Amino acid sequence: MASLRDIRRRITSVKNTRKITRAMKLVAAAKMRKAQVAAQSAQPYQQSLQTVLGRVVAAEDSIEHPLLAVPSNKLNVVLIALTSDRGLCGSFNSQLIKHTIQLAKKYKAEGKDVQIIAYGRKIVAAMKSEGLDLLHEDSGLKPEQFADKAQELSKMLVSMLEEDRFEKVLLCYNEFINVMTQEAMNKQVLPMDLSDVQDEQSANADYIYEPGGTEILAELLPLNLRAQLLQAFLDTEAGEQAARMQAMENATKNAGEMIDRLSLEYNRARQAAITTELTEIISGAEAL
């Protein structure tokens, strides 16, 4: 049985840990609110862009654009994976890493050559340990850098598409649904598929565009690509902070429960020690 001194030390240690987790929860909550506003504010723009794309596609009989062209390369698949740089955020990183590895193994089983574009220290380390080919890696990004990184990444992807270096590009990230839920998902970003952006209203409407739909798409499609990449960065940031806030809240709660158990154990041990001393005193007095 642990001594009273050992139990007191454990109680002090757990209390100090609880102070840290509570502080981390408050910091994550403050960052999460800002990141959540940024992620949710970007969604209407992307939805409006998708609506306009649907209307342009519905108004045109045939549309040709490099971002819509099906590559002749059928061997290479590029996966863009985004995680955080730090841990202590529950299963946020592990679920995305597992999802990306399973996707890479699936395409490798089909005979494809899989290349990874990784953002975040956690995904970079995981891909290297799995022996996957890293085409590009980056970490230590700040929210104010997301727009520039999305622009830089979109230019790199367009250049690779023009050089016919891949069959398709899939974007893997944790979609920010709400504070409690972030789901690992993937979607194809290149070549673009506009078949699913036409809604019933767009299909039945008669739009006349000046200049023509091809010229409009030449401007809108690169914007749409950057918007999707930027949304992934914003969702990853918001999801990381939300997951960390929840993880630190659970850790703080567990620390409180452990303190209660240790305090009970300490009181019982203290009472047992007092009882033992009293018994020894009474036994000694009777012996005399």
Note if 172 is an active site residue.
no
38 near 143, Cβ under 8 Å?
A: yes
- The residue from 89, 97, 243, 247 that is catalytic is 89
Whether residue 71 has a cis bond before it, omega within 30° of 0: no
Q: How far apart are CA 246 and CA 42, in angstroms?
A: 24
Q: How far is CA 203 from CA 49, 53, 61, 218, in A?
A: 16, 11, 12, 21
Q: Which residues, 6 or more positions from 246, have their beta carbon under 8 angstroms from its beta carbon?
A: 90, 179, 180
The 3 state secondary structure assigned to the chain is: CCCHHHHHHHHHHHHHHHHHHHHHHHHHHHHHHHHHHHHHHHHHHHHHHHHHHHHHHHHCCCCCCCCCCCCCCCCEEEEEEECCCCCCCCCHHHHHHHHHHHHHHHHHHCCCEEEEEEECHHHHHHHHHHCCEEEEEECCCCHHHHHHHHHHHHHHHHHHHHCCCCCEEEEEEEEECCCCCEEEEEEEEECCCCCCCCCHHHHHCCCCCCCCHHHHHHHHHHHHHHHHHHHHHHHHHHHHHHHHHHHHHHHHHHHHHHHHHHHHHHHHHHHHHHHHHHHHHHHHHHHC
Hey, which residues are catalytic here?
A: 89
